[in-house]
């Protein structure tokens, strides 16, 4: 029997539109304190669960998110891990998919729900989507069967779908349905009832305690290809001495220009120890560097395949793997292997 009662949930409020109010001078939105959210959603107090809240200081627009912020968030979850059955992270939508992806790698052996949500309209406005998002996220975080949580993952809830966090990307700055998970099914569909897709949810197979990873390598670049990209622009990345990794956003199934200078730059970057990962610019589908000659040239140059990783998951996975201090062979192995359900291969 599924139930939500008598659980302890911790809401971690980081900022984002959900709690923002308009500045009377500039008319721009800026984050406001948690009591504002509580006043707008009095239901929080009458839930069958114990619900506590912690607010970040300062509250931020999520376009100010940094890896240090992720460490702070992961540490906070670890600190309260044994006291709560589930966690809600209220977060701005702009970088929510990055944070969800990063957290999934940082929280090893996670056995409890960590549900990120936010809204497109501030919670104080008449047509806000924030109230429904928050209430449903709490229900999901509290849902359990025979004492076990139904969603022991880092997940993202928005509008009427629950997604695996590291499979998401923000695809609309306007619609309430702001996120997509193009290469992985929803973990739950929400209508009158919450229908969990148990086959898609990862359930732990061993009982290990939570371990958080705090070291992330941040000297990484995302190089998005476009027709006409210049040698100088590519060199600015490939010849940057500090860059340890490059996410190469390629075309289609992982193709790039075969111009000699380009292949040479990529090859040299790999030779000098940079990890180069091929991720497609396509929203859905996967990288297969053996499909076309143009892709094969990258494979031969030593580029690793990102298969169906999103840029958000590929970038944070690379930060995580480099942060572990692995050599490029082990990074290669782990990059193509599913660590947290982020990749289909």
Strand partners, 117: 90
By C-beta, is 63 or 206 nearer to ligand ASP? 63
Three-state DSSP at 69 gives helix
Site membership for ligand ASP, residue 14 (CB under 6 A): no
Residue of 40, 49, 99, 120 interacting with ligand ASP (CB under 6 A): 120
Residue of 17, 40, 133, 267 interacting with ligand ASP (CB under 6 A): 17
Cis ω for the linkage preceding 47 (within 30 of 0): no
- CB of residue 89 vs ligand ASP: minimum separation in angstroms? 12
Token pair in block for residue 112: 């409890």
- List 14, 17, 168, 280, catalytic entry: 17
Three-state DSSP at 166 gives helix
Contacts with ligand ASP by CB under 6 A: the residue count is: 11
Neighbouring CB atoms inside 10 A of 239's CB total 13
17 in active site: yes
Three-state DSSP at 331 gives helix
86-90 and 8-15 beta bridge pairing: parallel
Site membership for ligand ASP, residue 118 (CB under 6 A): yes
| Structural element, H or E, at residue 59 | strand 50-60
Residue of 63, 205, 206, 209 interacting with ligand ASP (CB under 6 A): 63
Three-state DSSP at 158 gives strand
- CB of residue 129 vs ligand ASP: minimum separation in angstroms? 10
Site membership for ligand ASP, residue 130 (CB under 6 A): no
Do 25 and 100 touch, CB atoms closer than 8 A?
Answer: no
Site membership for ligand ASP, residue 280 (CB under 6 A): no
Selected range binding ligand ASP among 86-94, 250-258, 274-282, 324-332, rule: CB under 6 A:
86-94
Main-chain dihedrals φ then ψ at residue 32, nearest 5 degrees: -130, 170
- CB of residue 244 vs ligand ASP: minimum separation in angstroms? 27
Q: Report the interface residues with ligand ASP, using CB under 6 A.
A: 15-17, 61-63, 92-94, 118, 120
């Amino acid at each position: 029997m599924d139930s939500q009662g008598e659980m302890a949930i911790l809401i971690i409020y980081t900022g984002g539109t959900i709690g923002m109010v308009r500045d009377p001078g500039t008319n721009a939105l800026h984050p406001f304190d948690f009591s504002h959210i509580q006043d707008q959603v009095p239901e929080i107090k009458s839930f069958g669960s114990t619900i506590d809240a912690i607010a970040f200081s300062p509250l931020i627009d999520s376009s100010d998110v940094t890896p240090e912020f992720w460490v702070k968030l992961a540490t906070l979850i670890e600190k309260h891990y044994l006291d709560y059955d589930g966690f809600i992270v209220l977060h701005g939508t702009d970088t929510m998919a990055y944070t969800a992806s990063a957290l999934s790698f940082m929280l090893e052996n996670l056995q409890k729900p960590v549900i990120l949500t936010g809204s497109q309209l501030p919670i104080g406005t008449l047509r806000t989507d924030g109230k429904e998002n928050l209430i449903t996220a709490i229900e999901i975080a509290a849902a359990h069967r025979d004492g076990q949580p139904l969603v022991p993952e880092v997940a993202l809830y928005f509008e009427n779908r629950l997604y695996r966090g590291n499979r998401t990307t923000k695809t609309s700055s306007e619609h309430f349905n702001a996120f997509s998970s193009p290469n992985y099914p929803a973990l739950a569909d929400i209508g009158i009832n919450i229908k969990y897709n148990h086959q898609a949810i990862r359930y732990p197979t061993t009982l290990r305690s939570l371990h958080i990873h705090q070291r992330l390598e941040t000297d990484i670049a995302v190089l998005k290809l476009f027709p006409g990209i210049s040698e100088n622009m590519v060199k600015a990345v490939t010849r940057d001495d500090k860059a340890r990794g490059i996410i190469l956003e390629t075309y289609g199934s992982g193709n790039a220009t075969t111009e000699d200078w380009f292949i040479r730059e990529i090859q040299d970057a790999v030779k000098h120890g940079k990890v180069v990962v091929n991720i497609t610019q396509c929203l859905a589908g996967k990288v297969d560097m053996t499909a076309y000659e143009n892709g094969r040239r990258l494979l031969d140059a030593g580029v690793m395949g990102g298969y169906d990783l999103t840029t958000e998951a590929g970038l944070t996975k690379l930060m995580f793997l480099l942060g572990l201090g692995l050599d490029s062979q082990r990074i290669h192995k782990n990059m193509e292997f599913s660590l947290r359900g982020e990749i289909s291969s």
